[in-house]
A and B are shown apart, each in its own frame.
Chain A
């Protein structure tokens, strides 16, 4: 199957790490249930327009951390993972997203205090609207 992965080539985050994190998020979010067959390293490399060296690195890390497993001759599949591990991925994704937002503000010479104000304002306006959208995604 084709994976909804989008790489940001401009990002400082290495490509293999972006792939890793996005696949983890898809697994933790339930979009890729255990047993789902993943594209081969070569197929994913073509789709993402990167070398197999990079894709292999992402798959190896995911396998090492227990998110996927490779069966000789059969391919690569999503592994069974514990609920606590899924939770961990979700929490780290949220922290990561907010960290990135703060970094953007800092790059624009905002002080931490100013950022806090912006943050409070956004929260307040969401509360006024009666909460957030159902899937909680801003983007």
Chain B
């Protein structure tokens, strides 16, 4: 097994009347995990607690096998975190921000930073506050990736980006992973990010963890069937929706197929669901 770099045990965090957890979750070196969920599911809160930007009410977090506490902050240099919004930067330009950030990170990779600035055509002499949201996001990314830390945590990195920029980022992250032992956690609402990057998908709903799944564990099991004949009105194992008497959706293809085969019920066609359809079923229990 690959080494566990992040271990979260029985973590709980209350924010006003919202409760996150209890959450048990771990992340291994060499993997990319996408965290998905509805708005307000607690994804950003979880990442903030992980980064010690908020303190949990209960539970523990281990990084690289060590419990983290506020005394010793060496681990911070081993994680690069991209928050959704960066506060207090408005009056600095890109060059000044680079100077501030690069000093903190012994692994700062200037050529990578320049490559990203070039690729995204980021104007470094313009004040951060004067940049569009999309360009701000690109600059944040360049400042985060170039730290070349072992763990990269991205909170909705592409929300404001145009399509080519999103595509380029996928390649950048793939290349970045191939640099060596790395770990990426990405919170995202973009199906493309999940399809092309994620090895694992963490699904969250209303502060609770619904589970961590290997991607093919989901895409291989959720299927829709078009049956040859109308189905009897009895419960069928694995079936989560019947769209009409001949179309059904299963979350456990194996169970459903063995039941159908046993009853000599034939289907004309079966289709695997797309990851966004699967997530929709998990989050709202029905197709959109």
Contact = CB atoms under 8 A, between A and B. Distances in A.
Nearest to A54: B216
B219 A45 contact: no
B30 A15 contact: no
Contact of B272 (A10, A40, A51): A10
Contacts, number: 38
B170 A52 contact: no
A43 B172 CA distance: 11
B9 to A, nearest CB: 24
A85 interface: no
User: Is the contact region of chain B dominated by helix, strand, or loop, or is it mixed?
Assistant: mixed
A42 B178 CA distance: 7
Contact of B174 (A9, A10, A43, A49): A43
Given A40-B178, A42-B178, A46-B170, A9 B199 contact: no
Interface residues of A, number: 14
Interface in B149-189: 170-171, 174, 177-178
A98 interface: no
Contact of B216 (A10, A40, A51): A51
Interface stretch (B37-45, B190-198, B202-210, B230-238): B190-198
Contact of B214 (A10, A42, A53): A53
Contacts of A53: 199, 214, 216
Interface of A: 9-10, 15, 40, 42-43, 45-46, 49-54
Interface of B: 30-32, 170-171, 174, 177-178, 195-200, 214-216, 219-220, 270-272
